[in-house]
Structure 1
């Protein structure tokens, strides 16, 4: 089964990171401490650590580590990670424009037109007789609980911004674990 190449949908030139379910993405591994995330991410670019929003009392304190690509001045983070005091690194959000490309079994997930990604997910599921799934907001993606598809507004366009996750302390699912900052992006709802 052939999918469009990155150049065909306008995101050529990205770094490519691998995804291993329940293990991590690129140089980042679930369970890492803030210091380990910063050390691993510095191979990509500069990092900025801040306190994450503490919207839910059930979760232990969380830090947000933003990774900005080297040589790209004043750009949004290429990758934003969330590290819980109790669970370590539990969420890796990849920016639709600046982030590395991450594929799921050959399907590029980052920066895609969401209807195209949905078509690819359906074709993949039909060809291999497997399932795909929709998020509660209606974004299609792989049938993997560790991948939560989000939308990121780019002007009038909505592009794919995947979150790679494991559950954090006190949560039942990855969707329950999603950092509150990821419900909104660029100050706008992604729903």
Structure 2
């Protein structure tokens, strides 16, 4: 693989791999050791990676476009491909990477029917075929934008996790993502978006509060402010990695389905305090910045509105790591949430000093 960032990699420059289910992905055969994986990828290891307390290790290669997961003995047991710049992977006639999700799903279901393979739904709501060791998911699509650098587009594209026999995709995904995905709310395979006129309106005072949620609240105070709603999902960590039950477990997030928000906590004084609030893009309440709606909006439309406002009022503008246009000052982060094949805006409002 050529050493370059994914933003510089044209489709014709990306490798094309073939999946041999439960055996190999392109040149990577399950069971390889680290040196064999490096050799198969021409040594394109970026020096990063992390080892869990249980001995599993994820290792990024080629500018993070391929992630290899090795077990306690150092043998390859899973591979994740980056949708934006990683190799294209094909199973028979079906291309799995960088596709429109609904189109890829239809072709996967057709192939599975012809092969007699059972298709389930994983935690992201995408197809999972245990007999092939394939678990599909999506990433935000990026590309060259008019009169701008590479940035986010209004769509999502497919990626996949490929596993060796007997490896649970949840376990492998936990190693890659740095948390136990079983603690997250599972998607049943639908991405409905609440119409704007049906969303409640919340006020927002930068660095102070988001609706009834004030930065610095304790988790019980957050739940009380939301009408005593019980979190549908929680994430946290033990001090010696996320699934090793040693030491004091620390709460990181509370996911509130009815309210449509996720509370994020930090520990400035040793106890959890509300440090950020993510408003769910598909279902959360609507909030505005200088009259601009921030939630559930097409990303390109929101970016254009913020850029225009900043130019009209001679304000500061920055682009966050995900390519979103963000005004200086309010400590606002604009991410996206999947809406089937497209995406909608999903903002996070942060306390002073909070770093995304």
What does residue 256 of structure 2 align with? 67
What does residue 214 of structure 2 align with? 29
Q: Which of 53, 75, 78 lines up with 2:260 in the alignment?
A: 78
Tell me the CA shift for residue 127 of structure 1. 1.4
Report the count of equivalent residues: 153
Question: After the TM superposition, which of the residue ranges 115-124 and 142-151 deviates more from structure 2?
Answer: 142-151
What is the rounded CA distance, in whole Å, between the counterparts of 2:204 and 2:240 in structure 1?
28
Q: Which of 151, 169, 191 lines up with 2:336 in the alignment?
A: 151
Cα deviation code 1:149-177 (max 9, x no counterpart): 1111111112111001125xxxxx53xx3
- Structure 2, gaps ≥5 residues long: 1-194, 242-248
What is the rounded CA distance, in whole Å, between the counterparts of 2:239 and 2:304 in structure 1?
35
Give the number of the structure with larger relative contact order, counting CA–CA contacts within 8 Å between residues 6 or more apart. 1
| SS of residue paired to 1:39 | helix
Tell me the CA shift for residue 84 of structure 1. 2.6
Are 2:256 and 2:262, in contact at CA under 8 Å, matched by a contact in 1? yes
Tell me the CA shift for residue 22 of structure 1. 1.1
Q: When the two structures are superposed, what TM-score results if normalisation uses the length of structure 2?
A: 0.39
Describe the shift of the 1:31–1:56 C-alpha distance in structure 2 as closer, same or farther (beyond 3 A).
Answer: farther
Cα deviation code 1:74-118 (max 9, x no counterpart): xxx710001234361001000111100011111111111111011
Indicate the RMSD between aligned Cα atoms, in angstroms: 2.6
Q: When the two structures are superposed, what TM-score results if normalisation uses the length of structure 1?
A: 0.70
Q: How does 1:1-191 map to 2 (within 5 A)?
A: 10-42=195-227, 45-48=229-232, 50-53=234-237, 61-69=250-258, 78-86=260-268, 88-166=273-351, 174=354, 177-178=355-356
> If you compute each CA radius of gyration, which structure gives the higher value, 1 or 2?
2
- Structure 1, gaps ≥5 residues long: 1-9, 70-76, 168-172, 179-191
| SS of residue paired to 2:301 | helix
